Amino acid sequence: MTNMDKLYEAVEARGPVCVGLDTDFSYLPADFVDSTLSKGENIVRFNKKLIDATKAVAGCYKVQIAYYESLGLEGLKAYADTLKAVREAGVPVIADIKRGDIAKTAEMYAMGHFTGDFEADFVTLAPYMGLDSISPYLPYAEKQGKGMFVLCRTSNGGAKDFEYEKLADGRHVYDLVGDKLNALGKDYMGEHGYSSIGLVIGGTHIEEAAEIRAKYQDSFFLIPGYGAQGGKAEDIAQYLSKGNGGVVNSSRGILLAYKKQPGAAFDEAAYNECVNMKEAIAHACSLL
């Protein structure tokens, strides 16, 4: 069984919410911070309470490494400890690292994030340099069932700068990327019909949603853009397949939910937000 199979089963069991642990120190409630601990240690305390509170309603977690790198060595320890906490909770974890280099450098990135202190179940990758920026990760997919989510059509406004440009044959650049990755993924299929090579498909542009979902039926989607970036449940639902086939990330919307729920502790508020998000997406899927 591949990690993508495990992610599919996690979504079946608990829903498609991906909790983004993009934890900036400023997000921590002032009365939670322990002044005797470092910023990194406080972030780990915060993350662990959030994981405990939401693991019953989260399909997976995504940890964005930049928030931890910004704190230097103590941040990298917090990153490793956070990954470990998610894996100990028995929930799939995505290392959001967006690596995109080639050759020996990519081999080292793959080793660094699929083994050792920073081991995760999935990584995010950027394919701009070509398929040889993806290939060094594939032995881990073949031998250990590891997975990857590769940037295809993203949720940011700048996606229009390159991804939407038209090719001579009428396809967009994102179509070319998706088509090549989908073809490559055929050699890494799991038991539930999804490849170990997933796609990052932003949920803020819905014009081509049905077309993209139909075109890449065996590609699992990581769908950013919900909540703070403007993606709505009815938009997101179009990128799922009967409520599965993808995970929907929310970071600030969950981490800072306590600011919109007066009287609720941050972990309780995070749980409430996950439930609300899960139910909204399920309802939107039921109307399709």
Mean pLDDT value of segment 174-183: 97
Q: Which of 240, 236, 184 is nearest to 214 (CA)?
A: 240
- Asked if 70 contacts 76 with a C-beta cutoff of 8 angstroms, the reply is no
Alpha-carbon span 58 to 161, nearest angstrom: 33
For the segment(s) 3-287, the CATH number from 3.20.20.70, 1.10.530.10, 3.30.70.360, 3.40.50.300 is 3.20.20.70
Alpha-carbon span 265 to 1, nearest angstrom: 38
- Asked if 39 contacts 74 with a C-beta cutoff of 8 angstroms, the reply is yes
Residue 280: both structure tokens together: 């909204």
pLDDT band of residue 227 (cuts 50, 70, 90) is: confident
Query: What percent of the chain is modeled with pLDDT above 90?
Result: 93
The pLDDT tens digits of the residues spanning 113-133 come to: 999 999 999 999 999 999 999
Query: Is the backbone of residue 199 left (phi > 0), alpha (psi -120 to 50) or beta?
Result: beta
Residue 1: both structure tokens together: 């069984």
The pLDDT tens digits of the residues spanning 158-178 come to: 999 999 999 999 999 999 999
Alpha-carbon span 272 to 258, nearest angstrom: 9
Identity at 67, one-letter amino acid code: Y
Domain ranges of the chain: 3-287
Mean pLDDT value of segment 145-162: 94
pLDDT at 228 over 80: no
Which pLDDT belongs to residue 256? Answer: 97
Active site residue 146: no
Mean pLDDT value of segment 62-78: 98
Count CB neighbours of 135 within 10 A: 15
pLDDT at 204 over 80: no
Q: Catalytic one among 84, 98, 180, 232? A: 98
Rg (CA), the chain: 18
